A and B are shown apart, each in its own frame.
Chain A
């Protein structure tokens, strides 16, 4: 299922302290974390975001700590997906496990302009910049990753699996 959203571009090596500084780690509430999303990059950054928007990042997005609060803060801010040149390994896992979609596009990330509207079709692996007409093709999101996104993360996914087997509380 494709969706559209407005682009907010960020640079390379955006680390987990930029995404959610340690002083905000006093909660695990997604919405509260979202209010401080990118606070370590630029105070008040999140004010520009509307529900369904998309972050477009340069290389190695999410490097640093293994805190699961980082993808939660992005989800809490209302971001639908992050399109990036590349992602740090632990952040990549944590994002999908928390239910945040990541799309790795390499150098083609340069084709996307800040403030444009993107149309993303994850199951076909197509990303379109509707303002400048650029099209990026990547391998389709794997079924496992799509399932994690659909279920809202790993905890819900496992809970559902257990319910189907009649093993959950």
Chain B
């Protein structure tokens, strides 16, 4: 049978024959992830199951990233639960403090996820690893606990929406613009329960960090996962991050898709999602009268080194507009170090940015840049639900680091071309 990427990867992890969407299959897992917020819930279920050990201490990942360094007593107490559990179970990949980064940036960077893997995480943006051809999805605490104990879990085979990206990639268009445009076209429930599978002749112009960004936001269209083939770019990325012989993967010719969406990127303008849903998209030039109080450049969507370089390229020799806070958050310690070594911090500092240590922080209204009543922010993160970054009266716009940085300079929503 000709298979989609989703069917192919599930088949690699089960003895049952994967036939059709809707079928339930039991699969073996490559990795199980939880963070400082969701870890304690999964650990509670783990205890209720009467378990004494995890299925594989090298394949359970605990990343204390949402409020790191711990922002208050409650978050510090939460981390203690995971820290003690990690010690008790002898978990290899427990990350805290100077070792912790935003989980979905950290795992691929450390080579803990590779093409063909099947990964579950107690975080809705676990779908990020589809960027390197891994089937990964976010689940609830009981599922995660089961995964931690047995290393196996049941999956419903998803139908697939194929997205073909065609045309010539314009100078300032990034993965973020493509995924925002797609969500604008199909809606926040356009891929409900389905797998998104990306292809097309312009895929070669989307680098791996751009693909991770796009897969990250599959959930914002309701998707179970967002899958990219594992090609030359993937192999190069994985080898540079510790996977010696990464698997090549592509969908079979003639695989059955529920729907095919084609996006021609020729002449495309950067895209911005307006409050309060990621599907409320506009071209950047339509929003030139929207002023901003804060700019956030970071998150599991856009906190990687290419994002830092994009922001620095726009900000070099320029200043953040008076009255605007521009907060730059490299997603992991390695990105932070690389940005420093490349002199990007000098650019950010000269421009008047705040440079943070790695954290999810403001993306979910945690800390390190929470919005007050009536404040407006343009952010490179993935969700702009009402109150997501703070006050219910605040407004959040989503864009690429290029657009966010240009907006920091002018104080209004601006494309980098307009500077």
Chain A interface residues (CB < 8 Å from chain B): 66, 68, 88-90, 92-94, 96-98, 104, 139, 142, 144-145, 148, 153-155, 157-159, 161-163, 167-169
Contact = CB atoms under 8 A, between A and B. Distances in A.
A66, A94, A97, A104 pick with most chain B CB within 10 angstroms: A97
B150 A161 contact: yes
A168 B139 contact: no
Contacts of A96: 154
B166 interface: no
Interface stretch (B49-57, B297-305, B308-316, B325-333): B49-57
Contacts of A68: 140-142
B224 A154 contact: no
B49 A167 contact: no
A169 B53 CA distance: 10
B149 interface: yes
B193 interface: yes
Nearest to A139: B22
A144 B53 contact: no
B73 interface: no
Interface in B158-198: 192-193
A168 B51 contact: yes
Nearest to A157: B146
A161 B143 CA distance: 15
Interface string B126-155: 000000000000011111011001100010
22 contacts: A88-B192, A89-B192, A89-B193, A89-B224, A96-B154, A97-B146, A98-B142, A139-B22, A145-B24, A145-B154, A148-B154, A153-B142, A154-B143, A154-B146, A155-B142, A157-B146, A158-B146, A159-B48, A159-B49, A162-B50, A168-B49, A168-B52
B48 A155 contact: yes
A157 to B, nearest CB: 8
Contacts of A153: 142
Contacts of A98: 142
Contact of B51 (A94, A154, A167): A167
A52 to B, nearest CB: 25
Nearest to A145: B24
Interface in B22-71: 22-24, 26, 45, 48-53
B259 interface: no
Contacts of A163: 50
B53 to A, nearest CB: 7
Contacts of A94: 140, 142
Contacts of B23: 142
B49 A155 contact: yes
A144 B50 contact: no
Interface in B367-407: none
B156 interface: yes
A141 to B, nearest CB: 9
Contact of B24 (A66, A142, A154, A168): A142
A168 B142 contact: no
B48, B141, B142, B224 pick with most chain A CB within 10 angstroms: B142
Contact of B45 (A90, A104, A155): A155
A87 to B, nearest CB: 9
Contacts of B149: 158, 162
Given A89-B193, A92-B156, A145-B24, A162 B49 contact: yes
B146 A167 contact: no
Given A158-B49, A158-B146, A66 B193 contact: no
A97 B49 contact: no
Contacts of B50: 159, 162-163, 168-169
Given A158-B51, A169-B50, A93 B24 contact: no
A158 B52 CA distance: 12
A103 B99 CA distance: 46
A108 B50 CA distance: 42
B143 A93 contact: yes
Nearest to A28: B44
Interface in B70-97: none
Contacts of A162: 49-52, 149
A62 B217 CA distance: 22
B385 to A, nearest CB: 13
Contacts of B141: 68
B52 A167 contact: yes
Nearest to A91: B140
Contacts of B150: 158, 161
Contacts of B49: 155, 158-159, 162, 168
Contact of B140 (A90, A144, A159): A90
A129 B48 CA distance: 39
A97 B142 contact: yes
A142 B149 CA distance: 22
A150 B45 CA distance: 19
B140 A93 contact: yes
A93 B143 CA distance: 8
Contacts of B154: 96, 144-145, 148
A155 B142 CA distance: 7
B377 to A, nearest CB: 25
A86 to B, nearest CB: 9
B140 A66 contact: yes
Given A90-B140, A144-B154, A167-B53, 17 more contacts: A88-B192, A89-B193, A139-B22, A144-B24, A144-B26, A145-B154, A153-B142, A154-B142, A155-B48, A158-B51, A158-B149, A159-B49, A162-B51, A168-B49, A168-B50, A168-B52, A169-B51
